[in-house]
Structure 1
Amino acid sequence: MHPLKSIFIWMVMLILLTGCWDIKEIEDVGIIVGVGLDVDSNDDNLTMVNQYVVPGKIPTQQDSSPQSVPFQNISMTGDTFFEIIRMNSLESNRPPNYTHLKSILSSTKIFEKERADQVLDIFIRDHEFRRTTPVFITRDPVLDILNTEPEKEVFPAIQIKSLSENYQINNKNPKNLTVGDMSQYISEKKSFLIPGVSLEEGKVKSSGAGIIEAKSSHYIGWIDIDDMEGVRYMHNNVVGGFIYLKEEKLKEGPVILEIKGANTQFKTNVQGDDLKMKVQVNISSVLAEDWGLGRNVFKKSWKNELEEAANETIKEKIERILELAQQEYQTDFLNLSKWVQIHEPKYWEKHEKEWDKLFPELDISVDVHTEITDFGTQNFNAK
């Protein structure tokens, strides 16, 4: 080979095979897995908590010795979140990197003080924040929750994210609400719920949801965990979970039905200027546990009593959440306006601007149909 040709090939290889010239060691990158948003109790300024990963302290399978926590929470206050992010350089030489952010935890106080659309602005505008990041809300101090060492996860931020991932097996858990979901609700000027978490006996748990009202874009109230079942049916996202039929409903003893499928349909009817809505819920279930020792399972149509008790139980839960929405908060956080807009476009076009006044008086009826399709290994004749 000609010497000049050989030199040329080597020069090309040096250019193309430069390696990772812009590589950064993981220890030098401030990886943020969780963000907490709160209000400073002393001066009422904004507070932002960044949960940094400490790579050297992440436990490994080979190392079974006790380790210090693999995360560090840095809390700072300021007038804006962008200012706070840049001020982190005063406490750490690792600039915060949010591309691996797992969850955002906000306090109810911050949404009482500031509008949700203003708080959310930087998380939509900045390219490092992803719209798929889930958002949560708490009535407890945000820093206390982010400082709580999780039992099953390495980082509190991941523990928080995992709470609402069990929505498929527990119909009390709210479904994840992402930054993108919040942005859509806000742009459409609709009220919505943010999944809630709380600190109970040193453990972080799923705990209902916080209500953000459309017009004010502020936090206005809380839905307790026991009322979330009604929300899930009204949001038509129940895919699993269970129905607990109390002893008051069944003389022979309580029963647990496992939900195998559920579907909620909304039907509307307009007569003149009056709007009525019917909520139809159909549930498929199996008998998971029966404490009724005296139950006559060989009696014809014996399962009818269980199905009727289930219908009554679910109807009460739905009517309870409708009462909270229409009477206590007078806010359509169940997003029923969507079905009016779909089924009654002319009515919606005429009354859209006064929906907040019409919603509390909306005539809503509820009908539930539960069917038990299986009885496990005790497959009795239930005809």
Structure 2
Amino acid sequence: MLQKAFQRYINNFKGFSREIWILTIITFINRAGTMVLPFLSKYLKEDLGFDYDEIGTILMCFGAGSFLGSWLGGKLSDKIGFYRIMIFSLLVSGLGMFLLVYIKSFIGLCVGMFVLMSIADMFRPAMFVSLGAYAKPENRTRALTLVRLAINLGFAAGPALGGLIIMGVGYEGLFWVDGATCILAILVFWFLVKEKKKSSFQDKKHPGEVLTTSVFRDKPFWMFLATCLITGILFFQLFNTIPLYHKEQFGLTEFQTGLLLTMNGILIFFLEMPIVSYVERKNIDKVKVVSLGCLLMAISFFMLLFTQFVSILIIMMVFMTFAEMFSFPFSNSVALSRAPKGHEGRYMAIYTMSFSLAHILSPKIGMQMIDNYSYFSNWILMGIIGVIGTILGILTYQLIQKERAIKQLS
């Protein structure tokens, strides 16, 4: 029985091209080194002495850069190709991490974070487009999930190791490691993967389910993006307000916070691919699954209202992890499936921009709520926002069902 379950798990990883596996490996290298983000708010508060409002503003600039970078990455991927964008983005952002160590002023960090993330987040839409080029259409969701597994496996190792680096050499060590792994990852990609401008797996007979010719007229897509934006706002609380809450409410160390995030990554590594395969086999509607993920995120924040025992942090993280597994791989797939051929970059740019906007809003809303009211007020607000996102997801599902019915009648 155990052997059969193990074999079924292994079968989920079959059928990918060599390029997809290399993309997965470089993503793991890059993410394992991404230790700055989970501890950035703590670095700004404890090492540099900024107040909550200033931290929120710096993180807002981080998100604004991410927003611009996502748009540029998608637009340029359609024009000059994803390959060059990926190489430029990781190489230059890696070097930028080395420079960021020396910036300590408020204005300097606002500008530095904005410029760095404008370059760094050009990578994300380009990488999504590369999956469309190197993966067969029937493997696309699983390929997205495989890369997400690499992200989360790297992220499982990163925070715990990052906590040890902070305790050993200080926060600045994180910037050096992050920059070095960016450069290492893209050099591996450059040497092992050849540029492919057009996919040999283009499905010309079934160009997609999109009924509209312009992304700006695709109403279900924009409503779906609102749900994605909300899941992003909730999820990014893990990296700005929640680490501070761990310390101030429960006295957790950076290493203990890192371990909670490591648990998140390990659960995703073992469970996400089987969940995705199950949803694919049973042909469960992906928009429904994303809506369920948003609801679980809302519930996880309501759980933080119970402060009598520290174990609530573990339970909350388990709920958040399942929410993440339901939300993110399938939202990627829904966005990519609605893109007409040749416009994948534009669609994935707008999709990633929704998360970049979440990067802007999440810390600013969270930090201001904490500064003006309390942590409890923030958790209640996040829970309510999550319920709204769930309702929007259900409305999106209904719109798409109507769209399909009209298509069948015509």
| TM-score, normalisation: structure 1 | 0.25
| TM-score, normalisation: structure 2 | 0.23
State which structure, 1 or 2, has the greater radius of gyration over its C-alpha atoms.
1
Say which structure is richer in helix: 2
Q: Higher RCO, 1 or 2 (CA under 8 Å, sep at least 6)?
A: 2
Say which structure is richer in strand: 1
